[in-house]
Structure 1
Amino acid sequence: MRVMCLNAWGGKLHADLLPFLRASAPDVLCLQEVVHSPETDKDWLTYRDGDHVLPQRANLFRDVCAALPEHVAVFCPAAQGVLWDDEQSIPSQWGLATFVHRSCPVVGQHQGFVHKSYSPVGYGDHPRSRSAHGVRVYDYEREGYISITHMHGLRDLNGKMDTPERSAQSRRLLEISRAVSEPGDVTVVCGDFNLEPGSAALRILEEAGLIELVQGRGFSSTRSSHYKKPGRFADYMLINNEDVVRDFQVTEQPEVSDHLPLVLTL
């Protein structure tokens, strides 16, 4: 079984992202920064937040569903705000999504929030609402259960330092993972955590028995060349049993986002 985790950057590199996902077709895809704008057929809209202006693929969730037609898809919105078509505002939901190949039965799932709750009337003030989603699947190749939970960690405008909110976020993420897991499962927790290596919020997960694979296996970055700010880490993948890891990679090419895909093979 292959599990991929990626922050899609709102589909900004859509022309490279979709062929990559189609060719990779992981058994489970955990995708963050997913856009869903059901009231428009436009391909592109614009996100505006002060000086931060970013093109967004208006219906990235639909696009990825079309690229992975053999997968069962679940979209988990964190908020509904507006994107812009020139000067026209378009309601748009923003969150994360999980795609599971139909050969892997989903026998349990749990959706929740690691920070705040669903914001129905705007994206809100920073740090904004952040969701998480967990699935429990049966892997016929391994003849066992795997639980996979991912989140998009809160963005603090002051940086990726430890804060009480980020520690609370880790504890909530553990709660969601445990809600979808059972004893004996291989348990995977992943996502864009918006954390620096060695943070107290990461240690909460490690002290719960999870083994961090990105730095643990010597990778020096989870950011592509499109990320121009300081700091080369944001994304992590943890597992409760490293013995079942056949391979783990942080994929540098092709560049499909300002984040790099994390790919775990069990």
Structure 2
Amino acid sequence: MRLMCLNGWGGKLHDLLIPYLKVSDPDVLCLQEVIHTPTADQAWLTYWHDGVELPQRANFFSEVCRALPDHVAVFCPAARGDLWDAERRYDSQWGLATFVRRSIPIIGQKQGFVHGEFSADGYGNHPRPRSAHAVRLYDFGKGHSVVIAHMHGLRDVDGKHDTEARLIQAQRLADLVQSVAGQGDGVIVCGDFNVLPESRTFDILRAIGLADLVTTRGFAGTRTSHYRKSGRYADYMLVNAAVNVAFFDVVREPEVSDHCPLVLEFE
């Protein structure tokens, strides 16, 4: 089975990302920073907040659905806020999404918040609500199930250091995973965690039997040249001992976001 995890950056590099997803065609795609604006006909809208102006692909979720027509798609919104077309405002949903090939049965799943609750009345200031999603899949060929979970971790304007909120977030993620996993299941947890490699987040995840593939295999970060700040780590992928890793890579080319795709092939 082939898994890809990626922060899609709101579809900012849409013209490169969509063809890449079509060609890659992973069995499971865990995608963070997904935009869903059902009332918008425009291809692009703009996000404005505290001097930040960022183009957003208005219906990024729908476009990825069309790029992966053989997949079941689940969108998990964290908040609804404003996007703009000049002076016209649109209510837009923001969150993460999971795409699973239709031939792979989803035998369990859970969506929950690792920080806050759903915000229907605007994105607000950081730290904003953050959701996570876990699916339990059955592999007919191998005759066993695997749980795949992902989250988009808290952003803190002061950096990626540990905070009480981030440690609570990690524990809630661990609890969500354990609530979906069955005895003996393979478990994979991934996402844009927004923490440093030395974070105590990994102690919490290690306590439920998970080990990170990014830092233990010598990858020097998960950011592309589009990310201009210091600190090259944000994205991680952890597995338990029941996951037989056949291949893992932090993909450097093509650059389809300010984050690198993480690709895992496992048995």
TM-score tier after normalising by the smaller chain length: over 0.9
Q: Cα deviation per residue 1:94-143 (whole Å; 9 max; x = unaligned)?
A: 00000000111011100000000100000122100000000001112322
Confirm whether residue 216 of structure 1 aligns to residue 212 of structure 2: no
- Return the TM-score normalized by structure 1: 0.98
Equivalence map 1:92-241=2 (5 Å)? 92-241=92-241
CA distance in 2, matches of 1:248, 1:58: 32
Confirm whether residue 38 of structure 1 aligns to residue 38 of structure 2: yes
Confirm whether residue 73 of structure 1 aligns to residue 80 of structure 2: no
CA distance in 1, matches of 2:139, 2:219: 27
1:131 aligned counterpart, secondary structure: strand
Corresponding letter in the other structure for 2:174: L
CA distance in 2, matches of 1:239, 1:201: 14
- Is 1:211–1:242's contact at 8 Å kept on the other side of the alignment? no
Using the TM superposition, name which of 139-148 and 14-23 deviates more: 139-148
Q: CA RMSD in A?
A: 0.9
**CA-CA distance at 1:195 after TM superposition:** 0.3
Corresponding letter in the other structure for 1:214: V
Using the TM superposition, name which of 120-129 and 136-145 deviates more: 136-145
Corresponding letter in the other structure for 2:198: G
Corresponding letter in the other structure for 2:263: V
Unaligned stretches of 5+ residues in structure 1: none
- Is 2:14–2:57's contact at 8 Å kept on the other side of the alignment? yes
Q: Cα deviation per residue 1:188-233 (whole Å; 9 max; x = unaligned)?
A: 0000000011111222112321011001111111000000000000
Corresponding letter in the other structure for 1:10: G
2:124 aligned counterpart, secondary structure: coil
What percent identity do the matched residue pairs reach?
Answer: 58
Aligned residues: 266
1:215 aligned counterpart, secondary structure: coil
2:165 aligned counterpart, secondary structure: helix
2:161 aligned counterpart, secondary structure: coil
1:246 aligned counterpart, secondary structure: strand
1:18 aligned counterpart, secondary structure: helix
CA distance in 2, matches of 1:226, 1:142: 39
Alignment match, 2:52: 52
Equivalence map 1:17-32=2 (5 Å)? 17-32=17-32
**CA-CA distance at 1:243 after TM superposition:** 5.8
Q: Cα deviation per residue 1:38-74 (whole Å; 9 max; x = unaligned)?
A: 1111100000011111000000000000000000000
CA distance in 2, matches of 1:207, 1:51: 40
CA distance in 1, matches of 2:90, 2:185: 42
Alignment match, 1:247: 247
- Return the TM-score normalized by structure 2: 0.98
Q: Cα deviation per residue 1:129-167 (whole Å; 9 max; x = unaligned)?
A: 000000001112322101001000010011000000000
